[in-house]
Amino acid sequence: MVVLDVSVVNVALPAVREALGFTTSSGLSWVATAYALAFAGLLLPGARLADLRGHRHVFTAGLALFTLASLAGGLATSPGTLIAARAAQGLGAAVLAPATLTVLTTTFTEGPRRTRALAVWTAVSSVGGAAGNLLGGVLTQAFSWRAVLLVNVPLGCAALLLVRVLPQSGLPRGRARPRLDLPGALAATVGMTALTYGVSRTQDGSWSDPATLWALTGGAAALLLLVAVETRWASRPLIPPSLLRRRTVAVGNTIVLLAGACLQIPVWYFLTFFMQDTLGYSALGTGLGFLPHTLIGAAAGVWVTPRLMRRFAHRTLILTGAVLCGAGFWWQSTASAGSGYLFGVLGPAVVFSLGAAVFVTPATAVVTSGVPTGDAGAASGLMNTAKQFGGALGLAALSAVAGPDGTAHGRVFATMTGVLAGIVLLALALPRERTSGHTTARGESAPGADSGDAGGVRAATEG
């Protein structure tokens, strides 16, 4: 439910625009952005809540909020109500998503059963995100755009009935519970929201507009305050400052943020309008049009990339994948109504889906490799926050590039090509592995390999 809702509304957006009377493309983009932004801004504190209140309680609260917000969104009669419901969904997701993995790792002890459980968890997450566009098209075509949100209600209610089977876990009684870093969480959320809002306003206004300037200035100030809180005042910071002093963490998360600004939410969003408005596809046809992206990305990510990571250095794969992905976006930028599906959608999809599959997992491994065990959760939370915030900010920025009518397909994907070029330059700043980072088929370090690097591979594979 959580991962699927990142993408499931994309195919339904043209129908949402007509039904609720969205007057601007920037306003419509907030249906996707509000979810991603609330999800990103509250992931770090959401992950800590399980330690404070117990995993089952937090899981239940997040699931209930997500389900109620889905109901409110499905019944929305105005743009403001729908956007608010999507933000509430994102809040529920930020609480629920970390708890799902925590429940598994505290329920199953180390060994084959936990490995099996984590493999299922990872597969469900991958399929949920990839299938969102297809399911959104089926539901919109067969019923209504409202079905893409209302489908969560019976699923959520059924899951709530099953919550009682979960163990109540958390900190043992009598042990001091860590305090939630509320100032840090508030500063992070306000900063990311204000920056994204300011960038989105440039689509219908200008950079010199007072409201735009106030939003951008306020967002930057909130993020500076976050730095001060985390480095000086917080006793248990959401982001330990020692993490950001690691070049792999700092550069790697910047790469993840820029990748998020193009992949997933933005690319699905703009391809949806290209297929429906330019090629004239129905909602179902658009959902089916995304099937190659789903199959290629899943197959390459599961079977090809892990094998490449045993033979090549992470930096090499990040560079290669980013170049491929940029080439696919450049091809996509040349597509027009006369290109048809073969050369306007399928061809570019093969190239940039392969590229994304090649570089995303090594980038994850770089970000998590060599991080002390005590900071592993914070490193994972920071990476997921960078990814989700990148998607929200990227959609706002690319909507501004598209202009008020939101139809500048070529400009949008040419801009994405430029972002991928930036990722290539950043990848060159990553430290060289002492060896090529090879691992054996069993996941053990090859002779002479950096043990921290190999640990990052295992962490990325399990996570």
CATH number for the domain running over 241-463: 1.20.1250.20
The CATH number of domain 1-167, selected from 3.30.540.10, 3.40.190.10, 3.40.630.10, 1.20.1250.20: 1.20.1250.20
Q: How confident is the model at residue 306 (pLDDT cuts 50, 70, 90)?
A: confident
Taking phi first (over 0 means left), then psi (-120 to 50 degrees means alpha), and beta for anything else, what does residue 22 get?
beta
pLDDT at 89: 93
Q: Residue 282 is encoded by which pair of tokens? A: 């129905």
Q: Extract the runs of DSSP E, i.e. beta strands, from 125-264.
A: none
Q: Do domains 1-167 and 241-463 have the same CATH topology?
A: yes
pLDDT at 67: 95
Rg (CA), the chain: 21
Cβ atoms 368, 236 nearer than 8 A: no
Does residue 258 carry a pLDDT above 90? yes
Average pLDDT across the chain, whole number: 79
Ranking 164-178, 208-222, 401-415, 443-457 by mean pLDDT, the lowest is 443-457
Q: What is the DSSP string of 327-388?
A: HHHHHHHT--GGGHHIIIIIHHHHHHHHHHHHHHHHHHHHHHTT--GGGHHHHHHHHHHHHH
Q: How confident is the model at residue 119 (pLDDT cuts 50, 70, 90)?
A: low
Q: How confident is the model at residue 110 (pLDDT cuts 50, 70, 90)?
A: low
Q: Write down the domain spans for the chain.
A: 1-167, 182-235, 241-463
Q: How confident is the model at residue 350 (pLDDT cuts 50, 70, 90)?
A: very high
Does residue 174 carry a pLDDT above 60? no
Does residue 123 carry a pLDDT above 60? no
pLDDT at 173: 55
Pick the residue with more confidence: 120 or 395? Answer: 395
Q: How confident is the model at residue 116 (pLDDT cuts 50, 70, 90)?
A: low
Does residue 443 carry a pLDDT above 50? no
Please tell me the distance from the alpha carbon of residue 328 to that of residue 417, in angstroms, as a whole number: 8
pLDDT at 330: 96
Q: What residues form DSSP beta bridges with 439?
A: 445
Please tell me the distance from the alpha carbon of residue 70 to that of residue 67, in angstroms, as a whole number: 5
Pick the residue with more confidence: 119 or 453? Answer: 119
Q: What is the pLDDT of residues 384-433, one digit of tens each?
A: 778 878 887 888 888 888 876 656 888 999 999 999 999 999 999 888 76
Average pLDDT over residues 147-170: 84
Which of these, 262, 287, 280, lies nearest to 339 by C-alpha position?
Answer: 280
Average pLDDT over residues 98-103: 70
Does residue 376 carry a pLDDT above 70? no
pLDDT at 448: 35
What count of Cα atoms within 13 Å lies in the side-chain half-sphere of residue 56?
Answer: 11
pLDDT at 422: 94
Does residue 463 carry a pLDDT above 70? no
Please tell me the distance from the alpha carbon of residue 221 to that of residue 168, in angstroms, as a whole number: 40
Q: What is the pLDDT of residues 204-255, one digit of tens each?
A: 666 778 888 898 999 999 999 988 888 888 777 877 788 888 888 889 999 9
Q: Residue 206 is encoded by which pair of tokens? A: 């200008």
pLDDT at 393: 85
Pick the residue with more confidence: 259 or 303? Answer: 259
Does residue 102 carry a pLDDT above 90? no
